[in-house]
Amino acid sequence: MAFDLSRRTALKGLMRGAAVTVGLPLLDCFLDGNGVALAATGSQVPVRFGTWFWGLGVNPNRWFPSVAGKNYELKPELAPIRELQPKINVLGNFNVLLDGAPNLPHTSGGPAIRTGRALTADRGLPGESFDVTIGDRIGTRTRFRSLEVSAIGDPRNSLSGRGGGNLNPSETSPAGLYARIFGTGFKDPNSASFTPDPQVMARRSVLSAVAEQRQALDAAVGAADRQKLDQYYTAIRQLENQLDVELTRPEPLQACVVPRKAPPNVPVNGEIETVMLNHQMMTDLLVMALACDQTRVFNMMFNNGASSLTRIGSTVTHHQLTHEEVLDNKLGYQPEATYFLTKIMEAWVYFVKALDSVKEGDRTLLDNTLVFAHSETEFAKFHTIDNIPMMTAGSGGGRIHTGIYIDGQGTPVSRVGLTLQQAMGVAVDKWGTKSMETNRTLTELVA
Amino acid sequence: MSRAARTLLAFGAAAAALAGIPATLALGNGPAAPATAPATAPATAPATASSRIVGMRRLTEAQYRATIADVFGPDIKVAGRFEPIVRPAHELIASGARDAALSPAGLEQFDAMARGIAAQVFDAGHRAQFVPCVTPDDACARATLAPLGRLLWRRPMTAMELDAHVRMAGAAAKAAGSFDKGLELALAAMLVNPQFLYVVETAVPDASGALVLDDHARASRLSFTLWNTTPSEALLRAADAGDLRDPAKLQAIVRKMVDSPRFEAGVRAFFADMLLFERFDALSKDPLLFPYFNSAVAQAMPEQMLRTVTDHLLVRNGDYRQLFLTNRTFMTRALGGLYQVPVHKASGWEPYEFAPGDDRAGLLGQAGFLAMYSQTGRSSPTLRGRAVRELLLCQPVPDPPGNVNFTAVQDTANKAMPTARVRLTAHMTDENCSGCHKLTDPVGLGLERFDGIGSWRTTENGAAIDPAGKLDKLEFTGASGLGKLIAASEDAPICAASRALEYVRGRPSDDSGALVEALVKAFADDGYGIRGLFLKAMTAPDAWRVEEKPLQANTHVSLLVR
């Protein structure tokens, strides 16, 4: 396809040129004009991006493939993805460089991957996370710019935000997530009738009036407060946008099947079976939110960095186990701690399969999505932050190659964030700060 | 008279008494009778040439709820999820509130809450209290919105702001086909405005040219600090009159505010912030290991601590240091099971006094403290020791090193290592770890006779527990022993004073040594009473100063392309 050719050319230029600035119109055309594969109906299928996070890493020698390239080897802890392997990339040997900032255990790794910056104090995110940057690119036309979900049920369990005290809080229960997506304000794209709600129109103009009052405030504030105001007015615009969507007749979407009723109220706690169940219910809702085009960006947190997952009757959490359980000499790993990892990989497979089971034209929802999965440590026992396990699933509408193990050979982890942003159409040629600043795209990933 | 109106009247009377204003005067113009409230607004913007916005502190959930209850009445429901304010490491949420931005998801919730509140305010049951006129026109919208805006934004709205909202109400009324609907949307707009969601601090130069908080910013700081709610009518009037910049009048007003029963809400919020009570939201305990732990106990734990604190410091005017020694507390039936003490009342709270010498004495013997600083399945001398140092003594303990090696720690099932003391001693053989664990563990080990939910025990895995502990060079036994050391330590009152100042100003007090010293002295002079501490913190002229920050361009450049 002509499109593929032009994009490849553009990205190669991006990679090989020393400091090439990519013009926005070029990238714009990928997305808005010709960028997205056309479905059988002739209407455009949106491209989505999301993240899937799990805490406490893996047992590296039982998870990472040994040899880079296609048809990578599946070691025991990675084996559950077998069926989906052709659609999943594994990324290893990328390093988090802190430039002398302390390695705050279970806290430094996640933000570094998501912002390309070292966390210097335990104070939220050190900068804008790249899922937000991508959301600004692809997520502005939906009701929700992004949806954040925590299966372990903690609103603070989030790595998404614009930095500076701003963290997108996570939905904490299936019922809450359902109400947010399919409650008041939801318009079924496949419904025959559509009448714009006059109340919504009135609200829309009120919000515009709130936004108009910005000038007076702006004139009087200092830098820190202006940043807060920026974020406030960004949020206001998103809210206006949400109302605009409610006022517009939605395009029919074949894959959209609205859940008939709200999920039951279920317990929310760290017990692993509860988290597995909540993760399933929340995944199902999120998948339909994507299929019904309510959002194009999401962040799913399975557990937290210092994982508080537990098994009923056990005196210790997943986190404590990784530190305190003795390495079983015969097995070569910590069996109790590894139990949780097995469950995590099971959940990841459920998540990817759920996306892959929704048909969109001749592709699946997964094919039109790019999911980036990562942890915050490599081997939790020692808090190592080099070689943190990462994966991608789906090709983002044919934007990246899949089924590859990519060996980063110790280069900065920010290369991953850079590449994924570029794949999603963000006009960025270099990303990260200090030692993590990079302009080196992962060429093997780019389709 | 509705419940809301009654509350407002009572509120107005209390507030008037406080500010030394005749009650009748305050009542006549109080929020209960908005018809006669001053609708005149200054024509200038709040930030005049000499005044600047020097800070924006996000309302906490408790402050938001209290404000709505005070302005509209306690029967107005606030339904929604509040975006959490991130607590910076080693700081208060009050400091985090200064950094707290709003995410789109957070604002979506605030918008929904605002509409829910506005719909109730102008429903058939309430509108008469707030709409002082009959003819549905702009003048009536103005008369309705001006007094509400003044209470919600904690200052008179400017003419421009008021005009904008009246226009909004008019346009919305036309679109929605109802005057009340228009008022509703305009009120919702006020409630979602940054002027409401943030406490906007404005400052002006004082006689010496230094920037100090201006009148209305002072009213907000006084009210949110001391009462954890929005400024009352009386306080706003005092601000209008310039009383809050007159040292003698300010002193009298603060004195009345700390003597008021409403000070309890402020003290509760301060201690909840200082002791990291947000952790209770996420507190979970293994039900198989701790059958006494259930949701009733979980809810009662922080409340028991706060009741102990407010009873000791406010009802009894007690010495802060004695908070770690007091035998008095309060019990519910559910807590009775955990504490193994008889509780007579089937529901609610009753006072309880431990026998002299009981190891439960003081805050450190309370289940809430002990459970919060434990793991889900067992106690943790490390977490408890760290909490004592960081929260009560303001001695930050470094985070564990990134490359920590835990091989010395054995699992709990190991028969050779039945107690935490034995396991941690093994861990401490590692030099990399021992540096910090020496700071925390010897303190926490003295509390080991309380298990992961704070129940009493004398053995762990069949082995007797040794409750000996050590704080720096001083040895002690049990929670009561540790309580005595904290009470006698120099650092405890200094820590409380420095936290109080941080709480007042919303920023850490590290750079304000002289001011903290002055507070500690006032604290000591008042017999370490909490009233004396906050009285000083709110009246010290230096506490109203703001440091100059250059106006500069946005430092964070987003990759956002619009």
Domain check: are A301 and A234 in the same one?
Answer: no
What was the pLDDT predicted at B200? 94
What was the pLDDT predicted at A101? 83
Confidence check: pLDDT of A18 > 70: no
pLDDT in tens, B162-210: 999 999 999 999 888 899 999 999 999 999 999 999 999 999 998 888 8
Percent of chain B past pLDDT 70, that is, above it, reads 85
- Given pLDDT bands bounded at 50, 70 and 90, which one contains residue A215? confident
B500 to chain A, closest Cα gap in Å: 21
What was the pLDDT predicted at B386? 94
Confidence check: pLDDT of A292 > 60: yes
Mean pLDDT of B217-226: 98
Confidence check: pLDDT of A17 > 70: no
The residue segments making up the domain with residue A336 are 2-191+254-445
Domain check: are A178 and A242 in the same one?
Answer: no
3-state secondary structure chain A: CHHHHHHHHHHHHHHHCCCCCCCHHHHHHHHHHCCCCECCCCCECCCEEEEEECCCECCHHHHCCCCCEECCCCCCCCHHHHHHHHHEEEEECCECCCCCCCCCCCCCHHHHHHHCCCCCCCCCCCCCCHHHHHHHHHCCCCCECCEEEECCCCCCCCCCCCECCECCCCECCHHHHHHHHHCCCCCCCCCCCCCCCHHHHHHHHHHHHHHHCHHHHHHHCCHHHHHHHHHHHHHHHHHHHHHHHHHCCCCCCCCCCCCCCCCCCCCCCCEHHHHHHHHHHHHHHHHHHHHCCCECEEEEECCCCCCCCECCCCCCCHHHHHHHCCCCCCCCCCHHHHHHHHHHHHHHHHHHHHHHCCEECCEECCCCEEEEEECCCCEHHHCCCCCCCEEEECCCCCCECCCEEEECCCCECHHHHHHHHHHCCCCCCCECCHHHCECCCCHHHEC
What was the pLDDT predicted at B422? 82
Measured between alpha carbons, how far is A399 from A420 in angstroms, rounded to an integer?
9
Of B272 and B402, the one with more pLDDT: B272
What was the pLDDT predicted at B415? 66
Of A34 and B379, the one with more pLDDT: B379
Domain check: are A174 and A202 in the same one?
Answer: no
Instruction: Tell how strand B459-460 and strand A48-53 pair up.
Output: unpaired
Measure Cα distances from A196 to A186, A248, B183, B459, B465 in Å. 12, 7, 22, 69, 70
Domain check: are A145 and A244 in the same one?
Answer: no
Closest chain A residue to B193 measured between Cα atoms? A210
- Which of A165-169, A254-258, B557-561 is least confident? B557-561
Measured between alpha carbons, how far is B151 from B71 in angstroms, rounded to an integer?
7
- Given pLDDT bands bounded at 50, 70 and 90, which one contains residue A367? very high
Domain check: are A298 and A202 in the same one?
Answer: no
ipTM value, please give it.
Answer: 0.79
Could you tell me if A168 and A158 are in contact, meaning their C-beta atoms sit under 8 angstroms apart?
yes
Domain check: are A89 and A184 in the same one?
Answer: yes
What was the pLDDT predicted at B406? 55
Mean pLDDT of A311-330: 84
Of A326 and B211, the one with more pLDDT: B211
What was the pLDDT predicted at A358? 94
Measured between alpha carbons, how far is A345 from A290 in angstroms, rounded to an integer?
22
Domain check: are A217 and A68 in the same one?
Answer: no
What was the pLDDT predicted at B414? 62
Note whether A122 contacts B: Cβ–Cβ < 8 A.
Answer: yes
Measure Cα distances from A425 to A49, A147, A400, A418, B4 in Å. 11, 20, 12, 11, 54
Confidence check: pLDDT of B121 > 90: yes
Is A156 within 8 Å of B96 when comparing Cβ atoms? no
Count interface pairs A-B at CB distance under 8 A: 263
What was the pLDDT predicted at B548? 62
Confidence check: pLDDT of B7 > 60: no
Interface of A with B in 143-172 (CB under 8 A): 144-148, 154-156, 161-169
What was the pLDDT predicted at A43? 53
Confidence check: pLDDT of B150 > 50: yes
Most confident of A101-110, B113-122, B390-399, B420-429: B113-122
Query: pTM here?
Result: 0.79
- Given pLDDT bands bounded at 50, 70 and 90, which one contains residue B402? low
Residues of B in Cβ contact (< 8 Å) with A169: 81, 83-84, 103, 105-106
Mean pLDDT of A144-171: 89
Confidence check: pLDDT of B403 > 50: yes
pLDDT in tens, B320-364: 999 999 999 999 999 999 999 999 998 999 999 999 999 999 999
Please tell me the total count of domains within chain A.
Answer: 2
- Given pLDDT bands bounded at 50, 70 and 90, which one contains residue A15? very low
Domain check: are A88 and A122 in the same one?
Answer: yes
What was the pLDDT predicted at B47? 45
Domain boundary at A229, A248, A267, which? A248
What was the pLDDT predicted at B294? 84
Instruction: Tell how strand B328-331 and strand A359-360 pair up.
Output: unpaired
Residues of B in Cβ contact (< 8 Å) with A210: 189, 192-193
Confidence check: pLDDT of A152 > 80: yes
Domain check: are A373 and A426 in the same one?
Answer: yes
Q: Which two tokens stand for residue A359?
A: 């048909």
Is A224 within 8 Å of B51 when comparing Cβ atoms? no
Residues of A in Cβ contact (< 8 Å) with B99: 123-124, 164-165, 224
Is B409 within 8 Å of A234 when comparing Cβ atoms? no
Cα A272–Cα A275–Cα A279 angle in degrees, nearest 5: 140
SS3 B200: strand
Of A442 and B558, the one with more pLDDT: A442
Task: Tell me the helix, strand and coil percentages in chain B, rounded to 5.
Answer: 55, 10, 40
What was the pLDDT predicted at B79? 86
Mean pLDDT of A348-363: 94
Is B555 within 8 Å of A223 when comparing Cβ atoms? yes
What was the pLDDT predicted at B152? 97
- Which of B143-152, B297-306, B374-383, B544-553 is least confident? B544-553
Interface of A with B in 297-326 (CB under 8 A): 308, 310, 312-317, 320, 323-326
- CATH number of A298's domain: 3.40.720
Confidence check: pLDDT of A286 > 80: yes
What was the pLDDT predicted at B282? 75
Interface of A with B in 272-301 (CB under 8 A): none
pLDDT in tens, B9-38: 444 444 444 444 333 333 333 343 333 444
- Which of A335-344, B280-289, B367-376, B528-537 is least confident? B280-289
Domain check: are A220 and A296 in the same one?
Answer: no
Domain check: are A209 and A273 in the same one?
Answer: no
DSSP structure class, residue B59:
P
Q: Which helix (H) or strand (E) holds B475?
A: strand B474-477
Confidence check: pLDDT of A364 > 90: yes
Domain boundary at A207, A227, A248, which? A248
Mean pLDDT, chain B, integer: 86
Mean pLDDT, chain A, integer: 86
B239 to chain A, closest Cα gap in Å: 21
Mean pLDDT of A10-32: 35
Residues of B in Cβ contact (< 8 Å) with A239: 104, 107-108, 111
Of A39 and A355, the one with more pLDDT: A355
Confidence check: pLDDT of B81 > 90: no
Is B558 within 8 Å of A136 when comparing Cβ atoms? yes
pLDDT in tens, A70-80: 999 999 999 99
The full set of domain ranges for chain B reads 34-215, 277-488, 491-544
Is A216 within 8 Å of B45 when comparing Cβ atoms? yes
Choose among B140, B139, B138: nearest CA to B127.
B140
**Look-up of token digits 């009959």:** B134
Is A210 within 8 Å of B409 when comparing Cβ atoms? no
Could you tell me if A326 and A182 are in contact, meaning their C-beta atoms sit under 8 angstroms apart?
no
- Which of A29-33, A315-319, B311-315, B320-324 is least confident? A29-33
Domain check: are A343 and A214 in the same one?
Answer: no
Is A383 within 8 Å of B554 when comparing Cβ atoms? no
Confidence check: pLDDT of B236 > 80: yes
